[in-house]
Amino acid sequence: MKSLFVYLKDYKKESILGPLFKLLEASFELIIPLLVAMIIDTGIPNQDKSYIVKICILMTVLGIIGLACSITAQYFAAKAAVGFGTKLRYALFVHLQSLSFTEIDQIGTSTMITRMTSDINQVQSGVNLVLRLFLRSPFVVFGAMIMAFTIDVKAAFVFVIIIPLLSVVVFGIMMINIPIFKKVQLALDQVLRKTRENLTGVRVIRAFQMEQSEIESFQKSNSALTKIQLFAGKISALMNPITYVIINVGIIALIWSGAIRVDLGIISQGAVVALVSYMSQILVELIKLANLIVSVTKSLACASRIQSVFEITSSQVEGVIGEENENTNPQLVFDHVSLTYKGASEESLSDITFTVNKGETIGIIGGTGSGKTSLVHLIPRFYDATKGKILFHGVDITTKDITKLREKIAIVMQKAVLFHGTIRENILWGKEDATDEEIYQALEIAQAKEFVDNKAKGLDEVIQQGGQNLSGGQRQRLTIARALVRKPEILILDDSASALDYATDAKLRYAMKHMENNPTVFIVSQRATSIQHANKIIVLDDGKVVGIGTHEELLNSCMIYQEIYYSQFPDKKSHKGEM
């Protein structure tokens, strides 16, 4: 939590003025019992109405001033807390963006969402409460005890006994609850993960009629959360009755001893009323403090979870080389590269070696789980190779500036991801300053111009979140256009034409082959037809390269490629047999 306080540094004034005005309000509140005692001891026995009216007016003025101080304190506390939450949320978002895919995989999507939303909201609420009450409640408690000593020392010793007892109860329950609330947040993570999975995969769930099974699974997670929340609530619920019992015992002791001392003429009746009022103030403030501690306990647990995310640093070392000799050939070299994902027991890629010259088209094919996506993800450094090295224009990519490297690479992922906004806004992700002419050129190459022109608003047609108002093929073509508008040196298509028919796929490949900037193209595909005209085809099997060559060479020398090709074109195999 301490390391998170840095986000309060721009609100030092508010963080000081908020508690200060609360202390002023509390000071006025401590004066009220003395004024009541003056009315009882002086105004009522003497039947001095003017005196009583003066004291009542003074109490009213103190109440109004206290209210003004309270509102001012609330304003400063809220300003500081909201500002703190805003800066913390921004810093956490920036930090998450700086992490590599390895760390993002480790944290998990549901956890990141929880940290960004409910956890930060809870910490923000805790900061607000601390600024308003954390100093006020102890100030009133000890202030009331001191005021009691000014009235009568012997009677005030009841306060000396009661306050430590209450402190033991309050802080004891707090220490028990801190680890419990951490478990509550973990259980909440599970519920959020389950909810997210169901909302994302609702169509699949209904297609397989798994609604009842998922409801039962959610109920199990929800029941676990409810159970631990109830347990935490029961512990917290002990606080109020125990504090009430202790306070009421103290009040009984005050009235008992006060009555005896009034009868002996040592103190006045008003003094006894003031002592009871101070004891009641202590009760109210300790209940506030108890509730504050419960909230702060939750906030501390959430702050600890947020801090644990900040402590995760990117495993990738940022390079410093920005430019290189772009005329160097080969353009890209994989030199005995291997990749092991964090936490995995086996390598996903093993001893990958090949070279790529500028302008070549490289096809990558293999069975499911053979490592095709893992291989292309190494090029823009989404992951770093655990063995070997990758050279880009003769420079190790781990020594290059990541931003500069990725500016020269465009990748179209397996899953076509589009964001809520217009078609134009989505395409501009590839190049922020792209003109409409450049956008239409990219759309034409991606075979998307026709359906965009058919939209009522053209480029200004609004795309729903995730592109739900588009077909799978339309989404894929728009993501391809988004990559093409950048005019990259290296274009990676990771099985990004799977939703396209064969004719559209062929037109797309033909258009890319005749692009002006002549990029190096990596095509990851399950279709042999999509890669058979590539300059070089890399065949993967279980993370290993089992063949590199042209289509004809691999048909003659690579058994895995033969199996893939002839499984898609069995008539070719029979024709070969006749030959």
Question: Any idea which residue has 């601390």 for tokens?
Answer: 130
Q: 191 with 221: CB under 8 angstroms?
A: yes
**What's residue 106's pLDDT?**
79
Q: Cis before residue 330, ω within 30 degrees of 0? A: yes
How is residue 209 written in tokens? 């009629």
How is residue 18 written in tokens? 């908020």
- CA 511/CA 443 separation, integer angstroms: 11
Contacts of 450 (CB under 8 A, 6+ apart): none
Q: Which of 518, 422, 424, 438 is nearest to 485 (CA)?
A: 438
Q: 477 with 500: CB under 8 angstroms?
A: yes
Kindly write down the DSSP assignment for every residue of 534-565, as one continuous string.
SSEEEEEETTEEEEEE-HHHHHHH-HHHHHHH
Q: Which of 80, 63, 61, 60 is nearest to 19 (CA)?
A: 80
Question: Any idea which residue has 């930090």 for tokens?
Answer: 95
Bridge pairing between strands 490-494 and 409-412: parallel
Phi, psi of 429 (to 5 degrees): -60, -35
- CA 55/CA 10 separation, integer angstroms: 43
Can you state the percent helix, strand and coil of the chain, rounding each to 5? 65, 10, 25
| pLDDT (mean) for 188-208 | 82
CATH superfamily of 414-487: P-loop containing nucleotide triphosphate hydrolases (3.40.50.300)
Q: 258 with 267: CB under 8 angstroms?
A: yes
Q: Which helix (H) or strand (E) holds 324?
A: none
Is the pLDDT at 313 greater than 80? The verdict is yes
Local structure of 332: helix, strand or coil: strand
- CA 511/CA 449 separation, integer angstroms: 13
Structure confidence at residue 362 as a pLDDT band (50, 70, 90): very high
**What's residue 331's pLDDT?**
87
Bridge pairing between strands 361-366 and 520-524: parallel
Per residue in 217-262, pLDDT (tens digit) is 889 989 988 998 888 888 878 877 887 888 788 888 888 888 888 8
Q: Which of 390, 399, 366 is nearest to 538 (CA)?
A: 366
> Which fold does the domain 2-310 belong to in CATH?
ABC transporter transmembrane region fold (1.20.1560)
Per residue in 125-179, pLDDT (tens digit) is 989 988 888 888 888 888 888 888 888 888 778 888 887 887 788 778 777 877 7
Provide the residue count of the chain: 579
**CA 145 → CA 28, 267, 357, distances in Å?**
15, 17, 84
Is the pLDDT at 2 greater than 80? The verdict is no
Residue 523's DSSP bridge partners are 363, 493
Is the pLDDT at 575 greater than 60? The verdict is no
Local structure of 402: helix, strand or coil: helix
Edge-to-edge strands of the sheet including 536-541? Answer: 409-412, 490-494, 520-524, 361-366, 536-541, 544-549
Phi, psi of 170 (to 5 degrees): -60, -50
Contacts of 143 (CB under 8 A, 6+ apart): 26, 27, 30
Is the pLDDT at 379 greater than 80? The verdict is yes
Q: Which percentage of the chain shows pLDDT scores above 90? A: 20
Question: Any idea which residue has 């990219």 for tokens?
Answer: 442
Give the type of residue at 520. Answer: T
Structure confidence at residue 576 as a pLDDT band (50, 70, 90): low
**What's residue 579's pLDDT?**
44
Per residue in 525-574, pLDDT (tens digit) is 888 888 888 999 999 998 899 999 999 999 888 899 998 888 888 776 65
Q: 493 with 376: CB under 8 angstroms?
A: no
**What's residue 293's pLDDT?**
76
- Which part of the chain has CATH 1.20.1560.10? 2-310
**What's residue 86's pLDDT?**
92
Residue 412's DSSP bridge partners are 493
- Which part of the chain has CATH 3.40.50.300? 414-487
| Residue 400: DSSP 8-state | B
Q: Which of 19-23, 249-253, 313-317 has the highest mean pLDDT?
A: 19-23
Give the type of residue at 333. Answer: V
Ramachandran class of 75: left when φ > 0, alpha when ψ lies in -120 to 50, beta otherwise: alpha
Local structure of 106: helix, strand or coil: helix
**b/e string for 229-262 if b means 16 or more Cβ within 10 A?**
beebeebbeebeebbeebbeebbebbeebbeebe
Per residue in 416-427, pLDDT (tens digit) is 888 888 989 989
- CA 427/CA 469 separation, integer angstroms: 16
- CA 356/CA 38 separation, integer angstroms: 95
**What's residue 573's pLDDT?**
64
Q: 17 with 75: CB under 8 angstroms?
A: no
How is residue 524 written in tokens? 């990851």
Question: Any idea which residue has 């772009």 for tokens?
Answer: 326
